[in-house]
């Protein structure tokens, strides 16, 4: 089996480097598309977090204001008794969903509407203010749980966005430029080999002509 010459081995290296460059450029383009989509998802999710946080804080403030009014009207002992008697049927289901290839948590709060009779505390020893406090804190807790899930998803999207950005930068500023330099060096080496071969063949031709 014939051994490959320096020129043939160099051409093989050139072919392999061109393939590597093509794959790197395609990979960079695909990752850039993913990064753009992740950025859009991140900002949309961030707006959702901001909106949900405002709603949750507003509802929590309303609940605290109602609690203060209840404490003033019913007294601490009666209010705390109602708190202890309130049914704790607040359930949270945590699943997951895929967003741009990233698995993020999805929080589902199962806290439907319930009547005063279903609240657990005595309806004859309390009043509308107690019902309002219970309802507002229940709604505030639901919003806070949803907010926690959305914030967790936002952090995961942010981490994936940063990882993708680093990979794009590595391809764009390291892998692709270095591969182009190597390709250029091999092309220059092949040009030099071609020139040497041309000079050598021309010299051999001149020598044969002189002998002939």
Cα(27)–Cα(31) distance, integer angstroms: 6
pLDDT at 119 over 60: no
Query: What CA–CA distances, in Å, run from 123 to 87, 117, 120, 201?
Result: 13, 7, 8, 109
Asked whether residue 7 is assigned to any structural domain, the reply reads no
Residue pLDDT, tens place only, 39-57: 999 999 999 999 999 999 9
Return d(Cα 176, Cα 14) in angstroms, integer.
Answer: 14
Per the confidence metrics, is the pTM higher than 0.85? no
Q: By residue range, what is the domain housing residue 119?
A: 40-169
Classify residue 102: in a domain, yes or no.
Answer: yes
* Residues 100/41, Cβ–Cβ less than 8 Å: yes
Instruction: Give mean pLDDT, residues 136-147.
Output: 88
pLDDT digits (tens, 9 = 90+) for 14-23: 999 999 999 9
Residue 135 sits in a domain whose CATH number is 1.10.287.3240
Sequence length of the chain is 212
Q: Which of 109, 112, 113 is nearest to 141 (CA)?
A: 109
Does some domain include residue 94?
A: yes
* 71 within some domain: yes
- The three-point CA angle 9-13-17 to 5° equals 170
3-state secondary structure 95-110: EEEEECCEEEEEEEEE
Whether 90 maps to a domain, the answer reads yes
Average pLDDT, the chain: 82
Residue 174 lies in a domain: no
* Residue 9, in any domain of the structure: no
Q: pLDDT, tens digit, for every residue of 102-111?
A: 888 888 877 6
How many structural domains is the chain composed of? 1
Residue 15: inside a domain: no
Q: How far apart, in whole angstroms, are the C-alpha atoms of residue 35 and residue 164?
A: 6
Nearest CA among 56, 140, 154, 149 for reference residue 94? 149
């Amino acid at each position: 089996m014939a051994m490959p010459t320096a020129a043939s081995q160099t051409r093989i290296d050139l072919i392999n480097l061109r393939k590597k460059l093509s794959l790197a450029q395609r990979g960079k383009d695909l990752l850039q598309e993913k990064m753009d989509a992740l950025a859009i998802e991140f900002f949309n999710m961030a707006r959702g977090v901001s909106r949900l946080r405002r709603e949750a804080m507003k509802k929590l403030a309303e609940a605290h204001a109602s609690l203060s009014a209840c404490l003033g009207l019913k007294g601490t002992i009666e209010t705390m008794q109602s708190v202890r008697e309130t049914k704790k049927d607040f359930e949270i289901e945590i699943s997951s969903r895929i967003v741009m290839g990233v698995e993020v948590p999805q929080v589902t709060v199962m806290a439907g509407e319930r009547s005063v009779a279903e609240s657990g505390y005595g309806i004859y020893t309390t009043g509308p203010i107690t019902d309002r406090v219970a309802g507002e804190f229940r709604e505030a807790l639901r919003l806070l749980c949803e907010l926690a899930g959305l914030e967790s998803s936002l952090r995961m999207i942010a981490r994936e966005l940063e990882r993708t950005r680093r990979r794009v930068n590595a391809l764009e500023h390291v892998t692709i430029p270095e591969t182009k330099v190597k390709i250029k060096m091999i092309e220059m080496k092949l040009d030099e080999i071609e020139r040497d071969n041309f000079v050598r063949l021309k010299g051999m031709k001149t020598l044969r002509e002189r002998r002939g």
